[in-house]
């Protein structure tokens, strides 16, 4: 059903705005090199959170501006509540949830926003806060705000799921907080917690990738354990309402573990003699096959659906 919240969510989920031109016309950011050089190859250029995160600022400002208008209209309808049309408008406005538009943005882009936040925080040490460049000061404040949202989101999710555990199928609750458990089973509390584990896993993954970038072995082993824990969770609780979604999640986790196992050979054990080169060459072909097989099966699944 098309609602105000669903329209607002669509407007804030797609990176459809020309952010480079918009930010260049509004801000005057100081150009700084990234604190983590190898991440620039992946597209995380510079050390400014706003420019790195693309349209996140715009996507957050849309609901905030809407919320301000919502608040003003709510006060006006309350003031003139004796007028029947204003009273009806007030009841409609009260059903609007701005949080329902912001939450999907952070859940869907949690890992990317987390990467941008950590990289920007590492470069914050060299930032100039003497007030001469207000653009940089605003970027730092926005970075802190988004970092707090990222840290608080798993806690807020647990709080909402526990508080409304018997009302999650209520249309009003679903309209406000449905993005926190969309597509998940709500008859079991631990099944509805999938997004909490999803966010915690990506937080740990981002910290491992950035903070332990010199220790490839620890990165791979840690990520394998994360995959194993997630695999056990999905296999035991089967959190998705659609059974096939659980099966595909299990398949992808197993495939990911296999890929990481082959990658561990290639990344950790450098060849010493010709015989080891031959072994690693076979492992490389197995790695390519595992990745290609996973991609092919997933593309086939998308095509069938």
Q: DSSP letters along 246-257, please? A: HHHHHHHHHHHH
Task: Give the other-Cβ count within 10 Å of 21's Cβ.
Answer: 9
Q: Which of 6-10, 129-133, 185-189, 257-261 has the lowest mean pLDDT?
A: 6-10
Beta bridge partners of 184: 240
Q: Which of 19-33, 75-89, 127-141, 217-231 has the lowest mean pLDDT?
A: 75-89
The C-alpha torsion from 253 through 257 and 263 to 269, rounded to 10°, is 160
Q: Which of 104, 88, 93, 103 is nearest to 68 (CA)?
A: 93
pTM of the predicted protein model: 0.79
Percent of the chain clearing pLDDT 90 (strictly above): 20
Closest CA to 189 of 220, 211, 157, 216: 157
Contact 32, 133 (CB under 8 A): no
Question: Are the CB atoms for 300 and 279 separated by under 8 Å?
Answer: no
Give the DSSP letter string of 142-160.
Answer: HHHHHHHHHHHHHHHHHHH
Over its C-alpha atoms, the chain yields an Rg (Å, rounded) of 23
Tell me which range, 64-73, 168-177, 281-290, is most confidently predicted by mean pLDDT: 281-290
Count CB-CB contacts under 10 A for residue 23: 21
**For the chain, counts of helices (H) and of strands (E):** 14, 0
């Amino acid at each position: 059903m098309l609602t105000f919240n669903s329209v607002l969510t669509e407007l804030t989920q797609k990176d459809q705005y020309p952010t480079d031109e918009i930010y260049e016309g509004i801000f005057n950011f100081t150009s700084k090199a990234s604190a983590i050089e190898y991440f620039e190859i992946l597209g995380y250029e510079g050390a400014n959170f706003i420019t790195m995160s693309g349209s996140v600022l715009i996507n957050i400002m849309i609901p905030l501006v809407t919320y301000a208008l919502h608040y003003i209209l709510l006060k006006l309808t309350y003031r003139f509540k004796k007028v029947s049309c204003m009273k009806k408008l007030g009841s409609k406005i009260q059903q609007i949830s701005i949080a329902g538009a912001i939450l999907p943005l952070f859940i869907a882009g949690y890992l990317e926003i987390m990467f941008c936040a950590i990289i920007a925080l590492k470069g914050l040490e060299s930032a100039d806060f003497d007030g001469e460049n207000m653009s940089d000061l605003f970027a730092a404040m926005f970075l802190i705000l988004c970092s707090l949202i990222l840290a608080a989101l798993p806690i807020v999710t647990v709080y909402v799921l526990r508080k409304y555990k018997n009302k999650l199928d209520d249309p009003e609750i679903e309209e406000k907080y449905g993005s926190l458990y969309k597509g998940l089973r709500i008859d079991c509390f631990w099944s509805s917690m999938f997004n909490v584990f999803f966010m915690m896993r990506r937080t740990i993954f981002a910290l491992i990738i950035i903070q332990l970038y010199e220790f490839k072995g620890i990165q791979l082993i840690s990520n394998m354990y994360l995959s194993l824990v997630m695999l056990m969770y999905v296999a035991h609780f089967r959190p998705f309402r659609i059974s096939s979604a659980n099966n595909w999640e299990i398949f992808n986790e197993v495939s990911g573990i296999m890929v990481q196992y082959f990658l561990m050979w290639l990344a950790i054990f450098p060849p010493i003699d010709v015989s080891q080169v031959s072994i690693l060459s076979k492992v490389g072909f197995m790695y390519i096959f595992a990745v290609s097989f996973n991609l092919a099966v997933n593309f086939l699944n998308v095509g069938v659906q």
